[in-house]
Each structure stands twice: as structure tokens, then as C-alpha cells.
Amino acid sequence: MKILECKNLKKSFGKKKVIKDVSFSIEEGDILGFIGPNGAGKTTTIKLILGLQRIDEGTVSINSFDIEKDFVKAIERVGTIVENPDMYMYLSGRKNLELVRHLYKNITKERIDEVIKIVGLEKRIDDKVSKYSLGMRQRLGIAQAILHKPNLLILDEPTNGLDPEGIVDLRNLLKKLAKAEKMGILISSHNLMELESFCNKVCIIQSGEIIEQNNIKELKKKMSNSFYHFYVSSTDKLDKVFKNINILNECNFEIQIKKEEVTEVISKLLNKKIDIYAIYPKTVSLEEVFMKKTGGNTID
């Protein structure tokens, strides 16, 4: 079931085209990493999805409701956090949730207890938020965002400022929400190593256009098939023999080639009297995929 569907989104500010033709979707249980270089259009896309900016062309549907034609029904099952969530520091975590509860209809006290358990704050929920760590505040923010039982959660830079323990807690929580609560989750983040650890899909945007969207495992497998690592007796002057070569040290290099070109590389090495000790396909990281796809542009 598609929870979010963006079709051919376009947005301009004056003469500048910021979003040129963006299409992607999120299904139940998906955790999609939304990444791109500085100024690629991530924040603008999120604002279009949430109805915070008017769409020039294209559509956004949430649970089959158009965000512009039927805003209230489209947005009623959406939860969102942009960086650090807002909360009253002098109140307890529970009091903060009770205040949020009054913004919605038919949210019971039992639901508050339920989300407290989901985010793992049972032992500290009655302490003042000012005594919380940043990771605990992030979990409380997610509790606020899911109080009304949304099935789409949108997070912008959720790991900012978190220590390693806080990042692990957040990662486990999001995986739990996607599976147990049957949510679709959209995460915009610059922390590609973390995204790789819990997202199942990735969408890369560059200059207002989607340049890649795929299952992360499939994308990494596809990219890995073109990179090979060689362990040899010498790498001296091999940069003059091969294109797309990355010499790591005096005995190791990586090269971007097709599978059927491996034997050609072997023949050239043997002709140079270079011994070959090992060859294996290189497993690429999401960060390496991003750099290759975007041409090495800096991510924000």
C-alpha cells in the first residue's frame, strides 16, 4: 500500500527552478533515506509534501488524499519532526504529551502510556525535560509526533547532535515503528552511514531532480559489481596502464570495470610480470554510491 506518492513535482522561486520533476513513493513499512548535495531541493520537497509551500505542477498524495485538494484528510495521519523538536523544558515529558494530546480529537490517556512505552521513556517520563539528554528529547519528540497514530513520519536531520548511544536508540526506534506501527518513514539526513544501517530504500536528489531511487541492498549490489579490489606484488606505475584505477598502497588497488573485463586486467598484470594474490568484488557503502552518483558533490 502506497502511503506517500509524489508525482512530477515542480517548484520555482521567481525564475529559478528549484524542483524540476520529482517523483517517488513510500509504502507501508518503508524507511526511505532522502539525500542530496547542498541546495539539491530536499527541504523544499518536504515543504511541498507537508503543504507548507504551494506546488507549481505535479501532485502529492498521502493515503490517497491530494495534499492541495483535500489538505485536512491528507495531513491528518502525518507526524513530523524538523531537527530538534519543540517542547516545554520546565514541564515533565508526560505534561508535554498531555499538551499535545489536546491538539487532536479522541486521544486517550491510554494512548499516552502506549507511546511512552513505544519510545522507551517509562522510567523518566515524569522528570522535567530540562533534565533529559538530547537523545531522550528526540525520543519524546517522536512520541509527540506519533501520538495521533500517523502512518507517515517525516524526519529532517533526526540524528543532529546525538551521541552514538542516542543514534543507536533512534535507529532501533524507527525500525520498530516501521514494522510494529506499520508506518512509512521519510528521513532527510547527511549521516549516510547511519541511514545505511536502518533505511531499506534511498532516494537521491540533485539540482531538483531525482537521479536515483532504489532498494539500498540492490543499489549497493549493482554498484559493487563494477568495482574490483586487486592484491598484487606491485602497483608501481599502474595508473599509466589502467583507467578508473584507485591505487591504495604499494600492493593494493581498486578499479572500476565490468565483470567481463576482469580477465583483460589480469592479462595486462601478468604481462607486466606482476603477481596476483587476490581479486574480489568491492562492497561499496551508501556514501560511496552517493559520491559516484552525484559526482562527488558535498552533502548537507
83 confidence band (pLDDT: 50, 70, 90)? low
* Average pLDDT of the residues in 169-191: 88
Considering only the top CATH level, what class is 2-220?
A: alpha beta
- What is the pLDDT confidence band of residue 63, given thresholds at 50, 70 and 90? very high
Residue 85 has pLDDT above 80, yes or no: no
DSSP calls for the chain:
-EEEEEEEEEEEETTEEEEEEEEEEEETT-EEEEE-BTTSSHHHHHHHHTTSS--SEEEEEETTEETTTSHHHHHTTEEEEESSPP--TTSBHHHHHHHHHTTSSS--HHHHHHHHHHHT-TTTTTSBGGGS-HHHHHHHHHHHHHTT--SEEEEESTTTT--HHHHHHHHHHHHHHHHHS--EEEEE-S-HHHHHHH-SEEEEEETTEEEEEEEHHHHHHHHHTTEEEEEES--TTGGGT-SSEEE-SSSEEEEE--GGGHHHHHHHHHHTT--EEEEEEPPPPHHHHHHHHHTSPPB-
- Per-residue model confidence as pLDDT tens digits over 40-52: 899 999 999 999 9
- Average pLDDT over the chain reads 89
Structure confidence at residue 140 (pLDDT): 93
Q: How many residues does the chain have?
A: 300
pLDDT at 252 over 90: yes
Count CA atoms within 13 Å of residue 201 on its CB side.
17
CATH number for the domain whose boundaries are 225-294: 3.30.70
Average pLDDT of span 26-32: 94
Percent of the chain at pLDDT exceeding 90:
58
Instruction: Give the type of residue at 86.
Output: D
Q: What is the pLDDT of residue 300?
A: 45
Per-domain residue ranges of the chain: 2-220, 225-294
More confident residue, 188 or 300: 188
pLDDT of residue 212: 86
Return the pLDDT at 225. 64
Other C-beta atoms lying within 10 Å of the C-beta of residue 30: 20
pLDDT score for 106: 85
Q: What is the grid cell recorded at 75? A: 495531513
- pLDDT on residue 297: 55
Other C-beta atoms lying within 10 Å of the C-beta of residue 69: 10
pLDDT at 70: 95
pLDDT of residue 262: 92
Compute the C-alpha angle 51/298/203, nearest 5°.
45
Q: Residue 129 — very low, low, confident or very high, per pLDDT cuts 50/70/90?
A: very high
**What is the separation of C-alpha 73 from the centre of its chain, rounded to a whole number of angstroms?**
26
* Closest of 285, 288, 281, 232 to residue 259, by C-alpha: 281
